[in-house]
Amino acid sequence: MTMSTVRFLLNNDVVTIKNIDPNLTVLQYLREIQFKSGTKEGCASGDCGACTVVLAELDSNNDAQLHYKSINSCITFVGNLHGKQLITVEDLKNGAKLHHAQQTIVDNHGSQCGFCTPGFVMSSFALHKHNQKPNRAEVLEALAGNLCRCTGYRSIIEAAITSSQTSEEDSFAQHYQATVLKLAEFQNLPAPTLEGNGHKFVSPKNIDELAYELKAEPKSTLVAGGTDLALSVTQNLATIDKLVYVGSVKELTRIEETDSHIIIGSALPYSQFIDTLHHYYPDLGEMIERIGSKQVRNTGTLGGNIGNASPIGDMPPALIALGATVTLHVSGVERTILVEDYFVDYKKTVLKPSEFIKSVQIPKPTHGQTLKLYKISKRIDDDISAVLAAFFIEQDSQQNITNVRLAFGGMAAIPKRAPAAEAILQGNCLTDETVKQAKIALATDFQPMSDVRASDKYRMTVSQNLIEKCYLELQSANARQVIETRVVNYA
Ligand SMILES: Cc1cc2nc3c(=O)[nH]c(=O)nc-3n(C[C@H](O)[C@H](O)[C@H](O)COP(=O)(O)OP(=O)(O)OC[C@H]3O[C@@H](n4cnc5c(N)ncnc54)[C@H](O)[C@@H]3O)c2cc1C
Ligand code: FES
Ligand code: FES
User: How confident is the model over 458-476, as pLDDT tens digits?
Assistant: 999 999 999 999 999 999 8
113 in contact with ligand 3, CB cutoff 6 A? yes
The pLDDT score that the predictor gives to residue 381 is: 85
> Which mutation among 51, 221, 291 tests ligand 1's pocket best, with the greatest number of atoms within 8 A of CB?
291
Please state whether beta strands 356-363 and 369-376 pair in parallel, antiparallel, or not at all (unpaired).
Answer: unpaired
Q: List, chain by chain if needed, residues with CB within 6 Å of any ligand 1 atom.
A: 45-47, 75, 221-229, 246, 266-267, 291-292, 296, 299-301, 303-305, 307-308, 313-314, 356-357, 382, 384
Average pLDDT over residues 209-217: 97
Spatial contact of 101 and 125, defined as CB atoms under 8 Å apart? yes
What pLDDT, on the 0 to 100 scale, is given for residue 63? 85
Helix H, strand E, coil C: the string for the chain is: CCCEEEEEEECCEEEEECCCCCCCEHHHHHHHHCCCCCCCCCCCCCCCCCCEEEEEEECCCCCCCEEEEEEEHHHCEHHHHCCCEEECHHHCCECCECCHHHHHHHHCCCCCCCCCHHHHHHHHHHHHHHCCCCCHHHHHHHHCCCCCCCCCHHHHHHHHHHHHCCCCCCHHHHCHHHHHHHHHHHHCCCCEEEEECCEEEECCCCHHHHHHHHHHCCCCEEECCCCCHHHHHHCCCCCCCEEEECCCCHHHCCEEECCCEEEEECCCEHHHCHHHHHHHCHHHHHHHCCCCCHHHHHHCEHHHHHHCCCCCCCHHHHHHHHCCEEEEEECCEEEEEEHHHCEEECCEECCCCCCEEEEEEEECCCCCEEEEEEEECCCCCCCCCCEEEEEEEEECCCCCEEEEEEEEECCCCCCEECHHHHHHHCCCCCCHHHHHHHHHHHHHHCCCCCCCCCCHHHHHHHHHHHHHHHHHHHHHHHHHHHHHHHHHHHC
Q: 155 C-alpha vs ligand 2 centroid, how far in Å?
A: 22
Q: What is the pLDDT of residues 14-35, one digit of tens each?
A: 999 999 999 999 999 999 999 9
Mutate to test the pocket of ligand 1, among 221, 229, 326, 327 (most ligand atoms within 8 A of CB): 229
Looking at ligand 1, which residue's alpha carbon is closest to its atom 50?
292
As beta bridge partners, residue 55 has 69, 86
Average pLDDT, the chain: 95
| pLDDT tens for each residue of 254-281 | 999 999 999 999 999 999 999 999 999 9
Q: Is the dihedral of CA 256, 208, 306, 138 positive or negative?
A: negative
Nearest CA to ligand 1 atom 49: 308
> How would you list the strands of the sheet with 325-330, edge to edge?
255-257, 261-265, 356-363, 325-330, 333-338
Question: Looking at ligand 1, which atom is closest to the CA of residue 223?
Answer: 30
Closest ligand to 111 CA?
A: 3
| 77-107 confidence digits (pLDDT tens) | 999 999 999 999 999 999 999 999 999 999 9
Give yes or no for residue 116 CB within 6 A of ligand 3.
Answer: yes
Does pLDDT of 482 surpass 60?
no
State which ligand 3 atom lies nearest to the alpha carbon of 111.
1
Atom of ligand 3 nearest to the CA of 148: 4
Predicted pLDDT of residue 58: 95
Separation of CA 322 and ligand 3 centre (Å): 42
The pLDDT tens digits for 42-68 are 999 999 999 999 999 999 888 899 999
Q: What confidence score (pLDDT) does residue 491 get?
A: 38
Q: Does any ligand 2 atom lie closer than 6 A to the CB of residue 123? A: no
CA-CA-CA-CA dihedral for 67, 186, 25, 383, to nearest 10:
20
- For the chain, how big is the Rg over CA atoms in Å? 24
Tell me the CA–centroid distance for residue 236 and ligand 2, in Å.
15
Please give the average per-residue pLDDT across 32-40, as a whole number: 98
Ligand closest to CA 79? 1
Which ligand 3 atom is the nearest neighbour of the CA of 150?
Answer: 2
**For range 189-200, the mean pLDDT:** 95
Instruction: Give me the sign of the Cα torsion angle 42, 386, 469, 457.
Output: negative
Say how many Å lie between the CA of residue 74 and the centre of ligand 2: 5
Per-residue model confidence (pLDDT) at position 1: 60
Note the pLDDT tens digit of each residue in 163-183: 998 988 899 999 999 999 999
Question: Which of 290, 292, 247, 299 is CA-nearest to residue 269?
Answer: 299
Give the residue from 373, 361, 451, 470 showing the smallest Cα distance to 413: 451
Q: In this predicted structure, what is the pLDDT of residue 130?
A: 86
C-beta of residue 90 within 8 angstroms of C-beta of residue 121: no
Distance (angstroms) between ligand 3 centre and the Cα of 155 equals: 12
Query: Ligand 2 centroid vs 47 CA: distance in angstroms?
Result: 6
User: How many A from CA of 147 to the centre of ligand 3?
Assistant: 8
Asked whether residue 484 carries a pLDDT value surpassing 70, the answer given is no
